[in-house]
Structures are given as C-alpha cells and as structure tokens.
Amino acid sequence: MAMNTLTCGECCCLFCCPPFPTSIASKLAFLPPESSYTVATEDNGASYNLHLTDRAEFQYSQKELDSIEVFKAKTKRGNKICVMFVRCAGPTRYTLLFSHGNAVDLGQMSSFFIGLGTRLKVNICSYDYSGYGCSEGKPSEKNLYHDIDTAYFILRTRYSQNPENIVLYGQSIGTVPTVDLASRYSDIAGVVLHSPLMSGLRVACPDTRRTYCCDSLVNIDKIHKIKSPLMVIHGTDDEVIDFSHGLEIYDRAPVTVEPLWVEGAGHNDVELYGSYLDRIRKLLEKDLPKLQGLDLSQPPSDTLATKKTSKL
C-alpha cells in the first residue's frame, strides 16, 4: 500500500480538487498492478481455469496449483470479481478470508497463500478488488465493501463455512473492507489486522486527530463495533503506515488478544520474521478456541462456538 506523507501543496491539490472522499481514496490508496494471471472459462462458463504469468513468481508444483480454485462472481454493484479458494488442509477448524494489500493481485499472492495455509493447516479464500487482477470495474472504497461481501457470501454458501469458523484477515488497505465486514457481523470467529491504517487522511497527514468529512478509508470510527476477538500485527519501523496506527486500532478495539509488534519490521517484510507464523498459529490453536469455549478434542466439524468477550 503506497501512502506517503504529502506536502502542503500536494494536500491542497488532493483534497480540494475535488473534495470528495472517494476521490481521495482513489488518489491515495489504489495501485492495481498489471495482472499476473488470466482466467479462462470452460464448460460454457460453468468452470474457470487459472493461468499464471511469470509475474506471479509461483514457487510450487502443479500439484499445489491444482489445489487452487478460481472463479468469477458478480457483486451487488455489478462488477464481476475474481475469487480464489486455496485448499491447503483437509477438515480444518478455521478458514481465512484474506483481503490482500495494495499493488498485488491473486496471482502474486497464490504462492504465499499456499505456504501460509499449509503451515497453519487452514484453507484460504481471497479475492481481487474491483479493478485488480481479472476483476472488473474500478477501484473505489464503495467497491471494496461490496467485493468483500461477495467473497464472504461465497465462503458461506459455496463452501458451507459457518461464521464461527471464519477468520477475517486484512493486510494494509485490505484492513478497510475487513474492518467494515467485521463491524457488521458479530459472530465471526476472529479478525487479524496486519499493518492497519486509522484512515486515509491520517496516513497522508500524520498530525490529523479527528475525522473530517473529506476523509476516507476510516477504520478508526468502525473499530469499536467489532465484537469478535481482534489481533493487530504491525512493524515498529513501518515506513508506509506508521506504527502509531496499529497501536491506536488496538487500543480502541473492544475484544483483543495479544498483538504482534514486530521490532524493526517495515511495511512489507513482517512475514519474514519467525514471530509472524508463531503468533498466528497461537491465535488459531489457542486464543480463539479458548474465547469460543471450544473442545479441542473434538473434530472441527463437531464444534460450536460460544462467543465470550474478554482480553487475553
């Protein structure tokens, strides 16, 4: 997610021409890359076939590639977006609904999803925002919310995932749709916010202390509505979204588990630290089951979640 501190002149140009939040969001946040994949329809549109380009830098074999299912689904705004389901595990307690960061698409993320899902023993569902990858439409804040709603609906219906088995994971700009969805559904198992931003204006103008009408991507005003256990991950040397954003998000969340503050990490290298996988694994194997009151001796399909609101 490429957001940098702006000069006074740049701010005037940005926020005055025109002074609309959707325009601000587009100028600040959205950097869709050249697509790293194509999706071909087969069987008269009944199925889709994924083709990765060299830009995807896929690191696995055909066997792992075959574990990826991709298809298109129409949002309520009429855009057909690409949705990806990466089957890394058999029967598993949790599935991650992953909202990726900026300047990447599903093709570039596919290797990461396989590695992450295999190590955590979870399946991963993700999607490309409108205007990213092979998704239709244009990137916008409103489209973000409809995009994640579509992916969540597919996870609930096509893959029969109950809310208590779904963990929302948002990274950088992906924390925006993640927070919005989590603020509207109280029965989600858990939420992970990786390098979250408070709002677009607070990233561009770090001294901003309140929400103005021209602001956009405003996570900070929704965070109090999230009733699911929330974990924040942030690098202390983040050069794009300052570490203070993660701290403030964590402080305002009603139900939190131990955060992961990665000492010395920036915006794009948190995953390279050993504590990253260790902390998420603890979240999935200990923190969330404890808060849900689950019997870990039972198979995942036989467990029922009972929501508790407390801090670990």
List, by residue number, the catalytic residues: 172, 238, 267
- Are 24 and 201 in contact by the 8 Å Cβ rule? The answer is yes
Residue 216 CB contacts under 8 Å (≥ 6 apart), including other chains: 21, 22, 24, 25, 28, 29, 141, 199, 200, 201
**Over the chain, what HEC string results?**
CCCCCCCHHHHHHHHHCCCCHHHHHHHHHCCCCCCCEEEEEECCCCEEEEEECHHHCCCCCHHHHCCEEEEEEECCCCCEEEEEEECCCCCCCCEEEEECCCCCCHHHHHHHHHHHHHHHCCEEEEECCCCCCCCCCCCCHHHHHHHHHHHHHHHHHCCCCCHHHEEEEEEHHHHHHHHHHHHHCCCCCEEEEECCCCCHHHHHCCCCCCCCCCCCCCCCCCHHHCCCCEEEEEECCCCCCCHHHHHHHHHHCCCECCCEEECCCCCCCHHHCHHHHHHHHHHHHHHHHHHHCCCCCCCHHHCCCCCCCCCC
